[in-house]
């Protein structure tokens, strides 16, 4: 599957991934008050609606400029936006793409990131141009790396002083999943190890449904 020229609609379990719309501005406004999100994203710190609408416009321009695919993560029943996830293509000439994401303060620990990351990972690994997906996580950000591991990403190591976050240099774990990794032991995205088998929360993975005419290119 070739890189599409529009943001696709990916539906799985509790989430749908779709393009941002102006009606999602309240979520962006609320993210301004998070301790971390404005430091690692371009979410505006002002908390003003106008800046939030501009942020949404910037998401659309990222697709047009080839920077990558920005998605709103929405509740699949209500279509209410609960977070953001992006597939970024800066290193696509090397067949690498990078994931980045956040979930709004009022929506955490409900499995939204795990579902969204699993759905986007499954989709991205079908792209002809992508051989490796990677993400970078602070060691203290347990919610982020637990979701990554749930979705089949493997921790490759600790990158020391990797990234400026606010006024500090931060170490980051680097995680990846690679194309064809099933032969190297990758579990289907979002699948659970026996260790956690008592959970009943729906996981992403095999049931991702895609819509959007641009995706039917081989
Ligand atoms: C990190 C973040 C995206 C997690 O989103 P989420 O929707 O709450 O994650 P999930 O509900 O899918 O949880 C994933 C796993 O992490 C665990 N988890 C979530 N938050 C956690 C926390 N604060 N501490 C410890 N574990 C946590 C969940 O219990 C779940 O574990 P399990 O799969 O073993 O049951 C969210 O906290 C966030 O947006 N933080 C600020 C921005 C950010 O950190 N972005 C990522 C930068 S790498």
Q: Whose CA is nearest to atom 22 of ligand 1?
A: 143
Does residue 212 sit within a domain?
no
Tell me how far the alpha carbon of residue 156 lies from the centroid of ligand 1, in angstroms.
20
CA distances from 39 to 35, 82, 110, 166 (A): 8, 19, 23, 6
CATH value at residue 91: 3.40.630.30
Does residue 89 sit within a domain?
yes
pLDDT at residue 209, as a whole number: 66
pTM for the full predicted model: 0.88
Ranges under pLDDT 70 in the chain: 181-218
Question: Which ligand 1 atom is nearest residue 149's CA?
Answer: 33
Tally of domains within the chain: 1
DSSP the chain: -PPPSSPPEEEETTEEEE---GGGHHHHHHHTTSSSHHHHS---SS--HHHHHHHHHHHHHHHHHTSEEEEEEEETTT--EEEEEEEE-TTGGGTEEEEEEEE-GGGTTSSHHHHHHHHHHHHHTTSTT-SEEEEEE-TT-HHHHHHHHHTT-EEEEEEEEEEEETTEEEEEEEEEEETTGGGGTPPPTT---GGGTT------STT-EEE-GGGG--
Question: Which ligand 1 atom is nearest residue 116's CA?
Answer: 12
pLDDT at residue 204, as a whole number: 40
Torsion of CA 200, 147, 31, 165, to 10 degrees: 160
Question: Which ligand 1 atom is nearest residue 83's CA?
Answer: 39
Does residue 134 sit within a domain?
yes
Could you tell me if the CB of 30 is within 6 A of ligand 1?
no
Does residue 193 sit within a domain?
no
Interval 15-32: pLDDT, tens: 999 999 999 999 999 999
Q: Whose CA is nearest to atom 45 of ligand 1?
A: 102
Does residue 17 sit within a domain?
yes
Tell me how far the alpha carbon of residue 213 lies from the centroid of ligand 1, in angstroms.
33
Could you tell me if the CB of 153 is within 6 A of ligand 1?
no
Does residue 171 sit within a domain?
yes
Determine phi and psi for 178, rounding to 5 degrees: -120, 155
Task: Residue 128: give the domain boundaries.
Answer: 9-185
**Which residue is listed with tokens 């620990």?**
109
Question: Which ligand 1 atom is nearest residue 135's CA?
Answer: 48
Does residue 201 sit within a domain?
no
pLDDT at residue 153, as a whole number: 98
pLDDT at residue 199, as a whole number: 31
């Amino acid at each position: 599957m070739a890189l599409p020229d529009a943001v696709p609609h990916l539906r799985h379990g509790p989430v749908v991934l779709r393009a941002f719309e102006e009606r999602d501005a309240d979520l962006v406004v609320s993210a301004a008050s998070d301790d971390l999100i404005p430091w690692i994203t371009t979410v505006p710190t002002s908390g003003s609606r106008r800046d939030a609408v501009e942020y949404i416009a910037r998401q659309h321009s990222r697709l047009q400029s080839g920077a990558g695919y920005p998605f709103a993560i929405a509740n699949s029943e209500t279509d209410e936006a609960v977070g953001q996830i992006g597939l970024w293509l800066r290193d696509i000439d090397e067949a690498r793409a990078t994931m980045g994401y956040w979930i709004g303060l009022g929506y955490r620990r409900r499995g939204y990131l795990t579902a969204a990351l699993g759905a986007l990972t499954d989709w991205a690994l079908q792209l002809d141009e992508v051989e490796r997906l990677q993400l970078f996580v602070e060691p203290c950000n347990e919610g982020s790396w637990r979701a990554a591991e749930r979705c089949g990403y493997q921790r490759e190591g600790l990158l020391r002083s990797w990234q400026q976050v606010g006024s500090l240099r931060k170490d980051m774990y680097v995680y990846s999943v690679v194309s064809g990794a099933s032969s190297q032991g990758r579990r289907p995205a979002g699948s659970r190890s026996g260790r956690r088998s008592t959970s009943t929360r729906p996981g992403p993975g095999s049931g991702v449904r895609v819509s959007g005419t641009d995706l039917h290119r081989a």
